[in-house]
Structure 1
Amino acid sequence: MEGNKRLDGAMRERGFKQYELADAVNTHLIGRGHEGTVGDRTVRNWLTGRTRWPHPRQREALEAVFGRTADALGFRPPGRRSLTKPSEGPVDRRNFLTGAGGTTVTVVAPFLGAPRQVGTSDVIRLRDGLDALMALDDKKGGHEGLERAALAGAAEALEKQRLGATQRVRQRLFSVAADYTATAAWSALDAQRGDRAHALLGRALYLAGMGRDSVAELQVWNLYAMPANQRGEHSDAVDSAMAAQATTVTKRDPLFASLAHARTAVGHSGRDRQAALRSLGHAREALSKAVPAAPRPSWTAFYGPAELTALTAVVHNRIGNFAAAEAASHRALSSIPRQFRRNRAMATAQLALAQVRQGDVDQACASASTAFELMEGHSIPGRMRSRLGDFYRDLITLAPGATAVREWGDRYRSERSRA
């Protein structure tokens, strides 16, 4: 059986080993919303000629990775005897991803075609694309379009990583890919797609290790703790938060230490009241030592005194201090910046929970309605729908026949079904 010399040559030119090509193709597939099922055996079948015409999605991914047509890579469809189409010349194109309300986000200018060196300017452009996605998340929350855009950014970072001019540039590109992948995982978490988020977090943690990026590692462990809390797996939540505390960046920057302690407090609040309050104290102490204007990745912009106060409300609600939770929610809402619409809506839902658990039905319904108004123009992210669902269950348990409860329930069902 004749081997595929053109694919072999293209791999040598790009410096791909078989498993690396499989990884690049899978990254592209995942970025387009498909399963990444290509393995070493698949690549061997391409190289040996056993598979002469890959699946359409795999062909598309191969063409994107190499910037060449499938024919130019040595593949031929059934019935074709020769490969006559010449290899395409270099192509330079820019991907644009459209977010909510027609928002267009430039993610990267991907390199396709003949190899060229990649440098610091490429890293900066990729970081700019990530910042744009963070701004979109602040307004709309997690959604499928944001996840796709983030995975596309990760795929481009990994493609460029193989062409990095220096080891430092290549390492920074791994770091960028980790940040994009963690952003995709966060979007899946916010949309309540836990299995999908878990797979992406594992990938992000690997990339953070390759990039030797302790900030990205902390981000991933912080995200791991969140679904564990939601599932009631308190030990896993605390263990993940403690792993975040153990990252080296917490020794350099108290803000990161504070975030890790706050996440630990939320984990403890499901079973250990005193440990939760102790961790909150550590979080406040660390944050008091942080330099607000220090350079940090854009994903950290949400965290500061206001967000810590919002997490304090979560902890107090979970340990049964409902009056303290209400007070903390009010303080958080007075200081969370206006551009963080989703965070303000989450804090408002937390306020409504605290109020209904104190028996204040009318005020709780009014507060919960404000959460809908804050997200007006956007669909309600899955995590927020879940929190509002908790509120509704408490509401109908407390006062099932009240007029305010019926009216709020009608609005909740209407908003929940809104695309």
Structure 2
Amino acid sequence: MVENRNWRLSAWMTERQMSTAELAGAVNDAICKFTGKAGTTSERTVWRWLSGQSQWPQERQRRALETVTGLMITDLGFLPRGKPTPVPALSEDPDVRRRQLLGAAASTAAAAAIPSTPASARPSHVGTADVIRLRTGVERLVALDAERGGHGLDKAALNGAAEALALQQKAATQRVRKRLFGLASDFTATAAWFQVDTGRLDSAGRHLDRALTLAGLAQDSEAAMRVWNLRAMLARQDCNYTEAVAASQAAQSTAVARTSPLHASLAHARTAIGFAHSGDERSAIGFLGRAEDALSKADLTQPRSAWIAFYGPAELYSLTAIVRDVVGHPVQAEAASHRALAALPESYRRNRAHTTAWLALAQLHQGDVEQACATSGTIFTIMSGAALPGRMRQLLGDFQRDLIARASSAHIAHEWTDRYRNEWSKS
């Protein structure tokens, strides 16, 4: 019955791309670990849970589900008979979801590391439970990055990739093997992103090449799109704007971008950035329009992969601000920046600081020097306690150069430099 459907369990499975057969297998594996006997959960059993026909699994199945998912049984949509039906998970505020993810993540880089299992201790049977554990590791790294930036986390990401590749050799099924290749690609791309953000472009490029190969082995279109998206960002930072446009167009051509308006919107927005820096204003504005149209068709309540959780109206406003400022529309850029900051979740601290830097540039490019200096100063407050990523340092360098060129008095530029030199150097 549709009205009794377990939406929470369904959403959890959808977010992790897990089939009913895989969940049944993971539950049986967990039961075997704590009872010594193989479980008997079938695919039909999982269908009964999803449909609501079975609203309270057997005790050992409940325990196994909690082990596999890391959630309480009631958080998975199950309640004893006579209890009210839980509210569907899809109505949950996405900001709450982000805060829960940050809460699950450790507050330090050490806690985010994916511990490598010694070869002698690795299981002879690798299944869905291992996939879930490693995916949780990716989510923790992404959450830490959103909170404070990825400085110092690339080693943890590469450790995760190495473990995924080691485990795929003992995968129980071809599907599990492909998902482990996909996770290796995700971890490697995550490491590359940390290096892009901190300005280590050469090593980032090598990791992206590897991540694309792993995405191909996984036959994972979304993983490939993620790599092309990062390749476009890397090329733009390296001032290779032709390659930036080509990489973002490669992202557009992936199967996931052709079928998912959310992914298509990001690919179009990234293309707009490339054209803006290439000096092609007409194409840049055109692709911004395509990004807006695609995003208007996306269902933002649906579960999504951790790497693209950042993308939505707030991020599109941020990218719009960049495009508008680069093509010489600072008034529109300032308006877009304000809209982005109003929509950004507080937990996205690094993104908030980055958008604030572009807001300061837009104000400076309108000649509002004092306001621009005040705005740029808030970046250090936003990022207090965390190192400034390389990309942000580069933006502040751009601001300083433009300030020196545009300020009516050299005193203003020197005062800004003197005031924030210490903050800049210790960040």
TM range (shorter): 0.7 to 0.9
Question: In structure 1, how many angstroms separate the alpha carbons of the residues matched to 2:403 and 2:394?
Answer: 14
Deviation at 1:397, TM superposition (A): 1.1
Deviation at 1:299, TM superposition (A): 1.0
Deviation at 1:234, TM superposition (A): 1.6
1:230 aligns with 2:237: yes
Question: In structure 1, how many angstroms separate the alpha carbons of the residues matched to 2:253 and 2:357?
Answer: 32
1:247 aligns with 2:254: yes
Question: In structure 2, how many angstroms separate the alpha carbons of the residues matched to 1:367 and 1:259?
Answer: 27
SS in 2 for 1:104: helix
Amino acid paired to 2:426: R
Instruction: Pick one of 193, 196, 205 that aligns with 2:200.
Output: 193
2:154 maps to which residue? Answer: 147
Question: In structure 2, how many angstroms separate the alpha carbons of the residues matched to 1:228 and 1:376?
Answer: 29
Percent identical pairs in the alignment equals 54
Question: In structure 1, how many angstroms separate the alpha carbons of the residues matched to 2:171 and 2:140?
Answer: 24
- For residues 116-152 of structure 1, the C-alpha deviation after alignment (integer angstroms, 9 at most, x for no partner) is 0100000000001111111110112131x21011001
Contact 1:100 1:140 in 2 (8 A): no
Instruction: Pick one of 308, 311, 322 that aligns with 1:314.
Output: 322
Contact 2:192 2:207 in 1 (8 A): yes
Matches within 5 A, 1:166-177: 166-177=173-184
Question: In structure 1, how many angstroms separate the alpha carbons of the residues matched to 2:192 and 2:408?
Answer: 37
1:217 maps to which residue? Answer: 224
Contact 2:113 2:156 in 1 (8 A): no
SS in 2 for 1:163: coil
Question: In structure 1, how many angstroms separate the alpha carbons of the residues matched to 2:220 and 2:108?
Answer: 34
Contact 2:144 2:150 in 1 (8 A): no
Question: In structure 2, how many angstroms separate the alpha carbons of the residues matched to 1:313 and 1:295?
Answer: 27
1:259 aligns with 2:275: no
SS in 2 for 1:269: helix
1:158 aligns with 2:165: yes
Q: 1:408 to 1:162 in 2, by over 3 A?
A: same
1:381 aligns with 2:366: no
Deviation at 1:103, TM superposition (A): 6.0
Contact 2:116 2:159 in 1 (8 A): no
Contact 1:333 1:344 in 2 (8 A): yes
* Gaps in structure 1 of 5+ consecutive residues: 1-97
Deviation at 1:201, TM superposition (A): 0.3
Q: 1:330 to 1:103 in 2, by over 3 A?
A: farther
Deviation at 1:410, TM superposition (A): 1.9
Deviation at 1:250, TM superposition (A): 1.1
Contact 2:113 2:153 in 1 (8 A): no
Across the aligned residues of Structure 1 and Structure 2, the Cα RMSD in angstroms comes to: 1.7
Deviation at 1:392, TM superposition (A): 0.6
1:418 aligns with 2:426: yes
Contact 2:232 2:248 in 1 (8 A): yes
Deviation at 1:108, TM superposition (A): 4.7
- Show structure 1 runs of 4+ deviating over 6 A: none
Contact 1:147 1:184 in 2 (8 A): yes
- For residues 292-331 of structure 1, the C-alpha deviation after alignment (integer angstroms, 9 at most, x for no partner) is 1222211111100000000000000110001111111111
Contact 2:337 2:359 in 1 (8 A): yes
2:354 maps to which residue? Answer: 346
Instruction: Pick one of 389, 394, 404 that aligns with 1:396.
Output: 404
- Number of equivalent positions: 321
Contact 2:179 2:218 in 1 (8 A): yes
Deviation at 1:405, TM superposition (A): 2.7
1:183 aligns with 2:211: no
The structure with the greater share of residues assigned to helix is: 2
TM-score for both structures, normalised by structure 1? 0.74
SS in 1 for 2:112: strand
Amino acid paired to 1:178: S
Deviation at 1:404, TM superposition (A): 4.1
Question: In structure 2, how many angstroms separate the alpha carbons of the residues matched to 1:99 and 1:305?
Answer: 28
1:325 maps to which residue? Answer: 333
Q: 1:134 to 1:178 in 2, by over 3 A?
A: same
